[in-house]
Amino acid sequence: MGPYGYLTKPVNGTELIIAVEIAVYRFGMEKKLRISEEKYRVLFESIPMGITVSDREGNIIESNSMAESLLGLHRDDQVGVPIDGEHWRIVRPDGSDMSPVEFASVRALKENRLVENVEMGLIKGDRGTTWINVTAAPVPLDDYGVVIAYSDVTERKKIEDVQKFIAQSAWVASGEDFFKSLARYLSGALGMDYVRIDQLAGDGLSVRAEVIFSDGLFDSGDQYMLDGTPLRNL
């Protein structure tokens, strides 16, 4: 921290008072700025969403720790990467490739407006696909482009896909019965090695396994009484 003012000899009383007032004012303003920057840093790092900021050309200048996790790329490696660059492999909710011109960030930068709730699938090679809900807005500051906020909706997307599978009666076309088709689908869609689908017996006292799907194979079902199990109180 440097000096806030200078005085020359001989010292004039009025000049001294003015110099002190200026020094106190500048010190107070710098303190407020440091506090504001610290609040921003804490919020930026602790918010449970990925946050990425670009410059006016659309190149990333900073990201938070959650962005590292969601994007699968260290923040230092993100710096300078274009928001519409070839690095990103993005798909639409239906699984088809999404063009960069459709990205929320690119649209917000180009159209200079808020773009909300764009669902995108980020393909990360053998690490699978992370589904994110993205909102982007222009930043009204020199040398800044857009701020991009995104949250992980992968689990919600999986549940919606399962619901869609059931609603569309996909098992009819497969030639398998309903429970086998559902078990096979759940195993693939949710990445599960073991799927068991039970059905409550008519007496309400026992449960019968309609299907057991383990490591790609179907196993014969069994039956057990509800007494003495956590399911008895459901």
Please tell me whether residues 87 and 126 are part of one structural domain.
yes
Please tell me whether residues 192 and 148 are part of one structural domain.
no
Please tell me whether residues 115 and 179 are part of one structural domain.
no
Given 96, 124, 152, which residue is the final one in a domain? 152
Tell me the pTM.
Answer: 0.65
- Domain of residue 165: give its range: 158-233
Predicted pLDDT at 24: 64
Band (pLDDT 50/70/90 cuts) for residue 136 is very high
Please tell me whether residues 137 and 66 are part of one structural domain.
yes
Please tell me whether residues 75 and 18 are part of one structural domain.
no
Handedness of CA 140, 145, 151, 156 (dihedral sign): positive
| Range from 32-36, 147-151, 209-213 carrying the lowest mean pLDDT | 32-36
> By C-alpha distance, which of 219, 6, 47, 234 is closest to 148?
47
Given 13, 29, 46, which residue is the final one in a domain? 46
Please tell me whether residues 68 and 146 are part of one structural domain.
yes
Given 101, 123, 152, which residue is the final one in a domain? 152
Q: Report how many domains make up the chain.
A: 3
Please tell me whether residues 53 and 145 are part of one structural domain.
yes
Please tell me whether residues 3 and 68 are part of one structural domain.
no
Band (pLDDT 50/70/90 cuts) for residue 145 is very high
